[in-house]
Structure 1
Amino acid sequence: MRQRRRTPDKVTRTPRPPRGQRALIEESYKLTITFLRLPFAYRVAPMSNPHEAFGNITTSPGQANSSLKQGRFNHETVAFEVEGFSHRVCRYGFEKWSQSGFPDMFASTSPEGPNEHAESGGFRDGEATDKPIKLSGCTNAEFESLIEVMYPLQLSGPPTLSKEQWVGVLKLSRLWDMPEVATVAIERLSAMDLKAVEKINLGKAHGVPAWLKEGYTILVDDLSKASLKEMTVLGWETAFRILWARDKISRLREVTPNAGGYWVSSDSLLCGYCYRNWSYQHKVPNAQTRCPNASCNQFYTSNGHGVVIINPSTALRSTAPLLDDKAKIVAEKVSEVFEEELKEAELRNTKSTA
């Protein structure tokens, strides 16, 4: 029985491109094959003279050379996480500038220290990017500002940061016990235009006694240096103590002979007894003597008769306190009224720099 021949399935063929386009594709293919056959060194842009820039660079395959000596620089990196941001930086800055926090942290995660992940072949915290050390008590912006100071991107010294960024650096340097970094931040902020209220708040928060005393001295001397809103930020207790110190100084100036009030020449003083009883105008030669009038013969002070001022509208002269005396009085009153705060800031600053 004759079998019927099976008709093959119809094959859909891709239409060939036009002859001109076909030639372009073939040429591109040839160029690609030629490029791939070239050594890798010829595929990149050649340097004018690679040996001058890098010297004689050689690579040795296989295991590392065990005869190599350790150089001065062999930095390890550490991974941190701050507010969901990952950072990998050199460890040496945190070990060098932090006196307690980070060295202790790294010691607990060092190869000699305990490693709860060793059996499973895992990484310690900070060794891998996916297993970072999580930092709290700071924002990502503050942390990045600190990194800029610890690892500056230019050779001219600390970076140029804003006031808010330097405040963040000061905050973290106090938090993580980095006194030298704190000193740099304080110097940079002191060179900026800090208002009296800012000096008080920052001095309290970060233990800077110089700022604290400067801020209080400015406001006790001249309350117009702060607005009502700024005084509200200080709190009612601090504002009350500033007003109390100002009141004490104003009262002191009223009773201090050369710190305010009025003065009068002795030529304008008359015996009070003679003037009230007989309208006589006997001048007072000396406050410790008797009246020169024989009919009076009274002591001006002990008998309570006092003296009379001739033409007070012209004899009296107002006096202003000397600037040096005023500054001294204000400084002494600030040290007295804010003694506890200043001592606390000084103690904190001393501990940070010890």
Structure 2
Amino acid sequence: MADNAESAGPPSTTSGPFLAVDHKTVHFEVEGLVYHVCRYGFETYSLSVFRDMFALPQGSHEESAVGATSEEGATRENPIKLMGCTTSEFQSLIEVMYPRQLSGPPALTKEEWIGVLKVARLWDMPAVAKVAIEKLSIMDLKPVEKIKLGKEHGVPKWLKEGYIALVDDLSIVSQKEMETLSWQTAFRVLWARDQIARKQEGEGGSGGLWTRMGTLYCGYCSAQHRSHRRQISNPQTSCSYCNNVPATSGYGLIVLDNTALTTATPPPGDKSKLVADKVAEVFEEDLKEAELRDTAVPEVADT
């Protein structure tokens, strides 16, 4: 008996939400070594240098920002030569862009993360630079390191923190460390410290003198009636004997027990603000330059 049922065709399908990445590859040469890597990370994270280079039409002889044409990089015999970085820095960058574990960025050393930050700035990779800065910020960066790295790689936060640390307390760094800074920077640190010291002297040195309750006496009574010394609990209130207010009478207060006097230190908040304000004034140009470099390129758009 004949089967009248229609032959079933192939089932209809729709595309799933996860699309495969086009894993095109490229050959790079760094310090004589040739690397064969995926283009994806370079196209995604480099907002101009590599993205523009890979956008060149095939067969074009027009040069990109790194001096490569579209014909270069296709084979091992004709790699794109990358200048301005070492093999160690390039390999660290590869580890960050293509991590081998699911836990995120690799556990690189401080020197390796500095190398990643260097090439990320060199090749316009703000997202990679951000990761490197976050990782380095939780490592042991000394004030002089923060100043040098902040200047070199455009990290205003480090630059400001480094300057504040030195202006606040120069004893935390050695002479050898200070010698690694330019003489202009060292001079401005010393000048800022001197300005703060002079300002503190002009405002009463370390914050004036303090004394215990019960050691203050009315200055008017002591001057006019030596036998009538009246104790004062509050210099803003009037004396119970002469009715003069020590704060406004012109006679002030008398301290009979000099051993009760102590030197007052300024509140920590006041000193910190004074240092921060002076750093912002003295190193204004450096901080602005680092800020401009850090914000010159927008965040990487979703791809």
TM-score class normalised by the smaller sequence = 0.7 to 0.9
Deviations 1:288-346 (A, max 9, x none): 999x88xxx9x99898x7765433233x2211222222222222222122111111111
| 2:49 equivalent to 1:101 | yes
- Distance, in Å, in 2 between the alignment partners of 1:283 and 1:115 is 94
* Residues 237 and 289 of structure 1, relative CA distance in 2, 3 Å threshold: farther
Amino acid at match of 2:21: F
In the alignment, is residue 313 of structure 1 matched against residue 259 of structure 2? yes
Shift of 1:86: 0.8
Alignment partner of 1:173: what SS?
helix
TM-score by length of 1: 0.66
Matches of 1:300 and 1:85 in 2, distance apart? Answer: 80
Tell me if 1:338 matches 2:289: no
Alignment correspondent of 2:79: 132
Aligned counterpart, 1:325: 270
Say whether 1:86 aligns with 2:50: no
Q: Please report how far the alpha carbon of residue 255 of structure 1 lies from its aligned counterpart in structure 2 after TM superposition.
A: 3.9
Matched letter for residue 106 of structure 2: P
**RMSD over equivalenced CA pairs, Å:** 3.4
Tell me, in whole angstroms, the C-alpha distance in 1 between the residues paired with 2:247 and 2:296. 61
C-alpha contact 2:215 2:257 (8 A) present in aligned 1: no
Q: Which residue of 1 aligns with 2:122?
A: 175
* Structure 2 residue runs without a partner (length 5+): 1-18, 64-69
State the distance in 1 between where 2:247 and 2:287 align: 48
Q: C-alpha distance in 2, partners of 1:223/1:201? A: 16
1:268 aligned residue: 216
| Residue 119 of structure 1: aligned partner | none
* Cross-structure match for 2:296: 351
Structure 1: distance between partners of 2:61 and 2:73? 14
SS at match of 2:297: helix
Q: What is the match of residue 210 of structure 1?
A: 157
Deviations 1:167-225, CA, capped at 9 Å, x for gaps: 00000000100000001101111111111111111111101111111111112222122
- State the 1:154 CA deviation: 2.2
Aligned to 1:75: 23
Check if 1:241 corresponds to 2:197. Answer: no
Structure 1: which 5+ runs fail to align? 1-70, 117-122
Asked if the contact 1:79–1:129 (Cα under 8 Å) also holds between the matched residues in 2, the reply is yes
After superposition, the C-alpha distances for 1:109-145 in whole angstroms (9 at most, x for unaligned) are: x3274489xxxxxx91111111111111111111111
CA contact (8 A) 2:58 2:71 kept: no
- Of 230, 235, 244 in structure 1, the residue corresponding to residue 177 of structure 2 is 230
**How far does residue 244 in structure 1 lie from its aligned partner after superposition?**
2.0
- Structure having the higher Rg: 1
Q: 1:234 to 1:281 in 2, by over 3 A?
A: farther
- Mark the CA change 1:126 to 1:222 in structure 2 (over 3 Å): closer, same or farther: same
Counterparts of 2:121 and 2:247, CA distance in 1: 65
CA displacement at 1:260 relative to structure 2: 1.9
* 1:155-166 superposed matches below 5 A: 155-166=102-113
Q: Secondary structure at the match of 1:216?
A: helix
Aligned residues with identical type, % of pairs:
53
| Change over 3 Å in CA distance of 1:240–1:280 after alignment to 2 | farther
Q: Name the TM-score, length of structure 2 as normaliser.
A: 0.76
Matched-pair contact (CA < 8 Å) for 1:271–1:300: no
Q: CA separation in 1, counterparts of 2:249 and 2:226? A: 21
Q: CA deviation at 1:259?
A: 5.7
2:177 match: secondary structure: helix
The alpha-carbon distance between structure 1 residues 197 and 307, as it changes in their structure 2 partners (threshold 3 A), is same
Cα pair 1:245 1:334 within 8 Å, conserved? yes
